[in-house]
A = this chain, B = another copy of it.
Amino acid sequence: MPDLAQQIHELGRRARAAAPLLALATTEQKNRSLLAIAEALLAARVEILAANAADVAAAEAAGLSGAMLDRLRLDEPRLTAMAAGVRGVAELPDPVGRTLREWNHANGLRFAKVAVPLGVIGIIYESRPNVTSDAAALCLKAGNVVILRGGSESLRTNTALAAALGRALVQSGLPADAVQLVPMTDREAVKHLCGLSEFIDVIIPRGGRGLVETVMTHARVPVIKHYDGICALYVDVEADLAMAGRILLNAKCQRPGVCNAVETLLVHEAVAAAFLAEAGPALRGRGVQLRCDDAALDLVGGEQAPEVMRAAPEDFRTEFLDLILAVKVVAGLEDAVAHIAANGSHHSDSIVTESTTTGERFLAAVDSATVYWNASTRFTDGSEMGFGAEIGISTDRLHARGPMGLEELTTYKYIGRGTGQVR
């Protein structure tokens, strides 16, 4: 039995070896494989659901929370949705081979910048099994080989999913090594994976702080982090307060457990009383706990635990992923921008104002992947932004920022076609 480092090395070596075949696969070949994967997921539904039931039972026995169990659980409708998601990727345009730019050197040498696959992508994620098929489908469509490392609690499910994917790949003429699963739950496996600079072109960690920090500490390969969303909404002195209220309720309550939900409300001191008089009760009516700075606490009538609490400084740097909102009164735009710079996570932030000057200044000054003026932060999403599907939301600045769709899963190369040109 080879040791863990050797096993991970071998997995990386096989991925690298498969990469040229994927890079040169035609659109038709890749789409045929995607349709075969969708069919294979449905054909293997009995094994997959049985494996998932075993994972769920083990997780229950281990005392996992209800929200965690819900993320882990598969059933017929969810599996059908996964297969439909893979079919949807087959329908998207192929991002590989696009000519991004063409021009000529004065000497006649013709240059083109063309999109090519990234190569071998490692994706490290948590317990949702749908990530396994979504990530595999997106990577495959963009001509990449993928190494998947899901959460340990979903290993049985992911093993069954990967077996179905592997069968479909082979049936459709692509190498089974194009999609590989790390079969060890040991966190050491992640460390070894992060060190495979010889074989892996990029690692995408999607998950909580512990996971992302493990990857950052051990990475010898480039990383695109999919980290937390500490998103703020700033209600300006010139805001339409009714609009601000609708946006706040949507951004906080429509789906509080996602990274583009608002966690922080910043409200201009001149409208704070009026705005909180309406928004406070509305939020509390939806079950939102308010964690207020001193000024906001006065305006909402002081602490009324558990619905209204005094905020601790770390509440403004926390991704609650829950019906909790940190509330702060600010002196104006500059104060709001400075708060976001110091406490936000550069994910999605929004201003509500009727002033074009103030709106545009916020859009320019806030350094986040997506910045809104008079709209909910909940639009930071590959599907809402028209990318068709996404592998996640990058909180990094290099290569890809915000939702990563198929185009962001490619890089480029330059091609020079000449007739003997020399310098």
Give the interface of A toward B (CB within 8 A).
20, 23-24, 103, 105, 109, 111, 116, 118-119, 197, 201-202, 216-217, 220, 222-224, 240, 243, 246-247, 249-251, 254, 341, 359, 363-365, 367-376, 378-380, 384-386, 396-399, 401-402, 411-423
Contact = CB atoms under 8 A, between A and B. Distances in A.
A360 to B, nearest CB: 9
B423 A118 contact: no
A414 B371 contact: yes
B24 A365 contact: yes
A397 B247 contact: no
Contact of A398 (B118, B371, B402): B118
Contacts of A374: 417-421
A367 B422 contact: no
B216 A365 contact: no
23 contacts: A105-B379, A109-B375, A111-B386, A118-B397, A197-B216, A202-B397, A222-B396, A222-B398, A224-B398, A243-B420, A249-B422, A250-B422, A254-B423, A370-B416, A372-B415, A372-B418, A373-B418, A374-B417, A375-B417, A375-B420, A385-B414, A398-B398, A398-B399
Contacts of A240: 420
Contacts of A368: 413
A399 B402 contact: no
Given A251-B422, A375-B419, A376-B423, 15 more contacts: A20-B365, A103-B386, A105-B384, A119-B397, A201-B397, A201-B398, A202-B397, A224-B398, A250-B423, A359-B417, A372-B417, A373-B416, A373-B417, A378-B422, A380-B414
Given A201-B398, A420-B247, A420-B374, A223 B222 contact: yes
